[in-house]
């Protein structure tokens, strides 16, 4: 059973994340989008809200699981028997961080392999942080996130 985990904040999920999920999930028997929820980070959406949005955006894809985790991704991978971690790279700036994380994870769990996918050319500029910035100032979100996410952003206090 080939099982992969795609961990991230997904605060909120964007067309960039969805592109990575669509392009990589079919290589695996089991694919888990893992919503990280650490008290050390401040999120706009609660973990439950982020999960609900991901599920809405994935309704046309079958067999993808969504879960919440506070802790090391490799520990979650071990618990679930997953051999692979998926991450995305948009720009050179992402590379150093992703490589460091992949190397740390390799030290912690040599049996787990990190696979990185390059952002699709039309999505490489999209980040959750910039999406929130655009939403805050009522900019056009239609090329950045699906409708459900646009509506959830517009419903957030301070973003109306
Ligand atoms: P984190 O806080 O763990 O970086 P994110 O939700 O920001 O969580 O990102 C999760 C993963 O998805 C990261 O590997 C990130 O590089 C990747 N990612 C984010 N946005 C995009 C995008 N537009 N295209 C491709 N990959 C992306």
Q: Report which protein residue has its CA nearest ligand 1's atom 12.
A: 88
Laid out side by side, the sheet with 30-36 consists of 64-69, 30-36, 3-8, 84-89, 113-118
Say which residues have a Cβ less than 8 Å from residue 103's Cβ, sequence separation at least 6: none
Query: Which ligand 1 atom is at minimum distance from the Cα of 129?
Result: 7
Task: Based on the residue annotation, tell me whether 90 is a catalytic residue of this protein.
Answer: yes
Ligand 1 centre and the CA of 152: distance in Å? 19
Mean pLDDT, residues 72-93 taken together: 97
Q: Give the per-residue pLDDT at 60.
A: 86
Q: Give the per-residue pLDDT at 18.
A: 97
Q: Report which protein residue has its CA nearest ligand 1's atom 23.
A: 16
Cβ atoms of 129 and 10 within 8 Å: the answer is no
Q: Give the per-residue pLDDT at 61.
A: 86
What is the best residue among 8, 21, 68, 143 to mutate for testing ligand 1's pocket, by most ligand atoms within 8 Å of CB?
A: 8
Is the pLDDT at 160 greater than 90? The verdict is no
- DSSP of 104-124, one letter per residue? HHHHH-TT-EEEEEEPPTTTT
- The model's pLDDT over 126-142, given as tens digits with 9 standing for 90+, comes to 999 999 999 999 999 99
Ligand 1 centre and the CA of 160: distance in Å? 26
With CA atoms as reference, report the closest residue to 111 among 71, 153, 152, 78.
78
Ligand 1 centre and the CA of 87: distance in Å? 7
Confidence of residue 51 (pLDDT cuts 50, 70, 90): very high
- Distance in angstroms (rounded) separating the CA atoms of residues 110 and 116: 17
């Amino acid at each position: 059973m080939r099982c992969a985990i795609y961990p991230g904040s997904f605060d909120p999920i964007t067309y960039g994340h969805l592109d990575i999920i669509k392009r990589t999930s079919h290589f695996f028997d089991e694919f888990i989008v893992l919503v990280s929820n650490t008290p050390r980070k401040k999120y706009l959406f609660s973990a439950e809200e982020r999960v609900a949005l991901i599920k809405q955006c994935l309704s046309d894809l079958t067999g993808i699981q969504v879960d919440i985790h506070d802790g090391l991704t490799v520990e979650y991978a071990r618990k679930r028997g997953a051999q692979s971690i998926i991450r995305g790279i948009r720009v050179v700036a992402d590379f150093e961080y992703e490589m460091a994380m992949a190397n740390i994870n390799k030290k912690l769990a040599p049996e787990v392999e990190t696979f990185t996918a390059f952002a699709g050319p039309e999505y490489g500029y999209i980040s959750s942080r910039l999406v929130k910035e655009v939403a805050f100032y009522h900019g056009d979100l239609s090329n950045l996130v699906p409708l459900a996410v646009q509506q959830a952003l517009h419903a957030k206090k301070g973003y109306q």
